[in-house]
Amino acid sequence: MQTLYIRPIALVDSPQSEDGDAVRLAGGMAYASRFAVIVREGGRIVSRERLGARALEAALPGLPAGAAEQWANLTRAHAPLDLALKQGGARTIRLDQPQVVGILNVTPDSFSDGGAFLDDPAVAQAHAAAMLEAGAAMIDVGGESTRPGAAAVWEGDELKRVVPAVEHLAAMGAAISVDTRRPAVMEAALAAGAHIVNDVSALRHDPRSMEFAARSQAPVILMHAPGEGEDLHGGGDYGDVVLDVFDWLRERRDAALAAGIARERIVLDPGIGFGKSVADNLALLNALPLFHALGQPLMVGASRKRLIGALSGEAPAHLRLGGSLTLALKAMDAGVQLLRVHDVPETVQALRVWRGLRDAALTDFRQLPG
């Protein structure tokens, strides 16, 4: 069986720079002018053709099955995420430009903050408020470390950590996602005022999770991780990491749709750092535009990850700001909608400068003579 992939391979600042021979990716602020049409059979790439935007659109009728769908997905504009607030009213998160998601780990063994926000709720609350004030569109609350080698957390402990943090954020009117694999924690967090379920196991860890997520009608973030059970990092044996992760996320998207989760409520995450080598992570980050062909908004969480240390003299997690910003900008260039980060003020500042450059490229293009 042959499988087709349409991968954007040339990104441009504006369609004007290519005399209109470019398309807008996912309704955002990234544009692609050239594409690789890849065909894989039996895990092996059997053909790879490079085409411009106009040429590819004209060639669609003669391409293998799935080409038209992927082309439509690449150019699909995403409606904002609609979130109902517990205290009444609604909030939306726009997906036509990048948004910063601040991380709040209420765990004793987080790789990035060492449990600083678990022992003192006032410190956690102040940190969350500072992230919101700095421009975070959403706060992602997690009560279980999922770093390599981390011990599993008892469900009761996770509930005790997560629910009070969510309640406080809900009282502030924040948009909240809950980073959990357990349906009981999902349910309690949503009842406390959370809006989005962010599951690093893509609703595989517990057989009840998919049914609950569909019944709750909450948006879900489905992340790639190769491992089963407690060890999400195991089993990372890839033929082609980019195409394998693409296929895996497509399967999880389709499983969510079959379970009754609405398409506009599914976000996908390639799972940087989960069961992947440094080379694997770099390949995925370079291929991020491809994942728009799945037709869903994307989240990327590369902030302070180990690959940054590996590329910078083993810098410890708290000294990885420069690398984190580099990867955030890489994701922005690729049209990724949600950036999950620890360093919110710095990332928001980088985003605003990036946005200024994009706006200037769109509005201040001068036609060259000739």
Same domain? For 289 and 351 the reply is yes
Look at strands 266-269 and 220-223 and give their pairing.
Answer: parallel
Q: What's the pLDDT at 90? A: 77
- Whether the predicted pLDDT of 113 surpasses 80: no
Same domain? For 156 and 256 the reply is yes
- Whether the predicted pLDDT of 10 surpasses 90: yes
Least confident of 2-11, 229-238, 262-271: 229-238
- Could you tell me if residue 367 is inside a domain? no
Residue 315's pLDDT band (cuts 50, 70, 90):
very high
Q: What's the pLDDT at 365? A: 59
- 326-362 per-position pLDDT tens digit: 999 999 999 999 999 999 999 999 999 999 999 999 8
Q: What's the pLDDT at 30? A: 97
Query: CA angle, corner 369, sides to 365 and 370, nearest 5?
Result: 130
Q: What is the CATH number of the domain that holds 183?
A: 3.20.20.20
pTM listed for this prediction: 0.94
Length of the chain: 370
**What mean pLDDT comes out for the span 113-139?**
81
Q: What's the pLDDT at 361? A: 92
Domain end marker among 74, 103, 131:
74
Same domain? For 282 and 136 the reply is yes
Among the listed residues 181, 182, 253, 340, the single catalytic one is: 340
- Whether the predicted pLDDT of 111 surpasses 70: no
Residues of the chain above pLDDT 70, percent:
93
**Residue 177 is inside which H or E element, if any?**
strand 176-179
Question: Which residues, 6 or more positions from 127, have their beta carbon under 8 angstroms from its beta carbon?
Answer: 104, 117
Same domain? For 291 and 203 the reply is yes
Residues of the chain above pLDDT 90, percent:
81
- 175-196 per-position pLDDT tens digit: 999 999 999 999 999 999 999 9
Domain end marker among 74, 90, 125:
74
- 69-110 per-position pLDDT tens digit: 999 999 999 999 999 776 666 789 999 999 999 999 998 755
Same domain? For 63 and 87 the reply is no
Same domain? For 86 and 174 the reply is yes
Same domain? For 90 and 208 the reply is yes
Same domain? For 203 and 346 the reply is yes
- Whether the predicted pLDDT of 11 surpasses 60: yes
Higher pLDDT, 29 or 235: 29
- Whether the predicted pLDDT of 215 surpasses 80: yes
**What mean pLDDT comes out for the span 118-125?**
74
Residue 221's pLDDT band (cuts 50, 70, 90):
very high
Among the listed residues 304, 305, 306, 358, the single catalytic one is: 305
- Could you tell me if residue 27 is inside a domain? yes
- Could you tell me if residue 311 is inside a domain? yes
Look at strands 44-52 and 220-223 and give their pairing.
Answer: unpaired
For residues 289 and 331, is the Cβ–Cβ distance under 8 A? no
CA distance 147 to 305: 10
Q: What's the pLDDT at 128? A: 94
Q: Which of 3, 1, 33 is nearest to 15 (CA)?
A: 33
- Could you tell me if residue 34 is inside a domain? yes
What is the span of the domain harbouring residue 13? 2-74
- Could you tell me if residue 370 is inside a domain? no
> What is the number of domains present in the chain?
2
Q: What's the pLDDT at 310? A: 97
Q: What's the pLDDT at 108? A: 76
Query: With helix as H, strand as E and coil as C, how does the chain read?
Result: CEEEEEEEEEEECCHHHHCCCCEEHHHCCCEEEEEEEEEEECCEEEEEEEEEHHHHHHHHHHCCCCHHHHHHHHCCCCCCEEEECCCCCEEEECCCCCEEEEEEECCCCCCCCCCCCCCCHHHHHHHHHHHHHHCCCEEEEECCCCCCCCCCCCHHHHHHHHHHHHHHHHHCCCCEEEECCCHHHHHHHHHHCCCEEEECCCCCCCCCHHHHHHHHCCCEEEECCCCCCCCCCCCCCCCCHHHHHHHHHHHHHHHHHHCCCCHHHEEEECCCCCCCCHHHHHHHHHCHHHHHHHCCCEEECCCCCHHHHHCCCCCCHHHCHHHHHHHHHHHHHCCCCEEEECCHHHHHHHHHHHHHHHHHHHHCCCCCCC
Q: What's the pLDDT at 88? A: 64
Same domain? For 61 and 186 the reply is no
Same domain? For 239 and 171 the reply is yes
Same domain? For 172 and 289 the reply is yes
- Whether the predicted pLDDT of 366 surpasses 70: no
Same domain? For 327 and 309 the reply is yes
Domain end marker among 74, 98, 117:
74
Residue 340 bears catalytic tag: yes
- Could you tell me if residue 363 is inside a domain? no
CA distance 241 to 256: 22
Q: What's the pLDDT at 344? A: 98
Higher pLDDT, 120 or 119: 120
- Whether the predicted pLDDT of 236 surpasses 90: no
Q: Which residue has the tokens 């890849």?
A: 38
- Could you tell me if residue 132 is inside a domain? yes
For residues 174 and 133, is the Cβ–Cβ distance under 8 A? no
Average pLDDT, the chain: 92
